[in-house]
Amino acid sequence: MVIEPWFTNSVARPRSISDERLLSAAGVVIGRVGPGFTLAQVAAEAQVAVGTVGQRFGSKSGLLQALSRLNTQQVTEAMRLATETASDPLDGLRAAAVSVYAGLGDAASAANHLGQLGVDLGDLELRALLGEHYTAVEGELRRSVRAAAAELPGAPGPVRAARTLTAVLNGAALDWSIRPKGRLVDRLEQDIDAVLMGWRRKGDQ
């Protein structure tokens, strides 16, 4: 944390600026303008000097790396909370899955974030962080699948089940950002339920 000088009527007013505040601003800007965003736009959104962003993260790539790590942390925490607070294990699995993309925003914002994802794939460091993100998501889904195993007798093993649910989530988010209809959360719930109902019925055969 650093102290950012602000001036009103030539009087300095110190204000602490956290990394999370800058990264939150970066997420807002990416959702608004897509992968062509600049550090200057992030600084304006965070209401800090451009130099503050550059000094903290070094470069646009450094900012994106930090944002990726924070996103992984926030998503896995949201998944764990959804699982722990659900009324039963199956509802916990559904809620954990939906929470992965629940904060993606409207269709335009989702498309911009996914556009940034496409750019990230061309950067070796960012691609590695994306791999870590999906591994973390699958890990939380495996935990939830194991907890709901008694209600999903037709499900494959936890590893393949988690990988399948991750693929469904990723595909649904991408398709919805291109062809939005209704709310993203509703679309995610519908597609996840289609898979889970299949795993439940298969056990009755």
pLDDT of residue 4: 38
**Which CATH entry fits the domain spanning 61-202: 3.40.140.10, 1.10.357.10, 3.40.50.300, 3.40.50.1000?**
1.10.357.10
> For 111-136, b where at least 16 C-beta lie within 10 A, e where not — what string?
bbbbbbbeebeeeeebeebbeebbee
At 11 the pLDDT is: 33
- Write out the CATH class of domain 1-6+15-58: mainly alpha
Torsion-angle region of 192 (φ positive above 0: left; ψ -120 to 50: alpha; else: beta)? alpha
Give the pTM. Answer: 0.83
pLDDT confidence of residue 10:
34
Whole-number pLDDT of residue 77: 96
Distance of CA 62 to the CA centre of its chain: 18
Q: Are 174 and 100 a contacting pair, CB within 8 Å?
A: no
Q: Where in the chain is the domain with CATH 1.10.10.60?
A: 1-6+15-58
In this prediction, residue 86 carries a pLDDT of 92
The pLDDT averaged over each successive group of 10 residues in the chain (205 residues) is: 34 60 94 93 94 92 95 95 93 95 84 88 93 96 95 94 96 90 91 94 58
